[in-house]
A and B are shown apart, each in its own frame.
Chain A
Amino acid sequence: MSANPIRPAPRPQIRNIHIADLLRYRLPVPGVVSILHRVSGLGLFLMLPLLLWLFDLSLASERSYDRLVAWCDNLIVRLVLAGLGWALLHHLCAGIRFLLMDLHLGTERAAATRSAWAVFAVSLPLALLVALFLLGAI
């Protein structure tokens, strides 16, 4: 090894925060949109068997369709579907935001914060509508 005559100053070390710091760490709104995009995506993936099974029931025959409708009378099923509705809507809205940012639209900090709020402003009321529909309120 040849000696390096130039000693660089020690660089600041950047580390991941400890898992115990997660609750105290104030994530900025775009960060919340981002992590929820991931959470909703994983949730949709994990619920894929349920969704495909429901799709199968809905199409296989008139009788299976009726079975699906009867099955959806269950409150827990409705709550799960409402949760999946939120997951899809959040994933969709946040995904469109990310696609626009990939096109270099709205990457300034102020614009990014605004669009992050816009994701919630669109996805949450729509998810509420889906939930109210599923729970029979509308």
Chain B
Amino acid sequence: MTGILLADRSRAEEFAAARRRLADLGREEAIQAVADLARRVRLSDLDMIGRARLGHIGGDFSVADILATLYGAVLNVNPAWPDDPERDRFILSKGHSAGALYATLAHCGFFPLAELDSFAQPLSALNGHPNRNKVPGVETNTGPLGHGFPVAVGCALAAKLQRSSRRTIVVLGDGELQEGSNWEAAMTASHYGLASLTAIVDRNRLQQGAGTEETKQLEPLADKWSSFGWEVRAIDGHHHAQILSSLEPSQSGQPVCVIASTTKGKGVSFMENRVEWHHKVPSPDQIVAARGELSA
């Protein structure tokens, strides 16, 4: 295990080849590939959390389909050259879902899959929250909430200044929207007409201790984004075809907010929509049961 990770060359080539193939084959095949990636991400994440005895499995599983769609079919990134200046920028603002991000990046070849075994171990590059200086594919160090979105706005502003067509996509937790910095960023993005920027809200309606609406009401959430000058799209955040469609370019010239309705713990019956699975660690028996459901 090294302090700073490097690409898994063969997997990176496989990723690039698969993306080229999918571009030729079309949408159905892309969606099939995304579904397969999502399944593998959840299974790897389950293993990582089981081994490390820590993690945020509920939010990992609610965002897994979004991550798989982004990396499987949308983002213009190259695992063999993660610093390509013209790459699309992806920022996971809900940094506590690092497990799902690491699994996705590893399955795409940003670093070897075997590194996932080191998750949260002493001196591992794979900290409980992502570190861009150690993990290729990570754009900014997130963890404290309300940080990734302003950084994404800056990424999109840079692209606009450089007249680049590259995109910036940021995933926000819904509970995270209680942080005021997000609304500062939302205003900046619409003020500057950052049409290349997409914010995806992982709307699982649960935060660490309770439901979002009983903690601090977010609804009417779509209206909030609209009134901040964003083009809003509401989708099922586990429906790969819907996720894919929602990531089409802006129609309005304004930044796009995708409100993705999701289920925390998605894919494992006893975790789904249960607040305690925010960061509960499954027992060995539960891991076996979860693996069975996810593999089915």
Q: Do A and B bind each other?
A: no
Residues of A within 8 A of B (CB): none
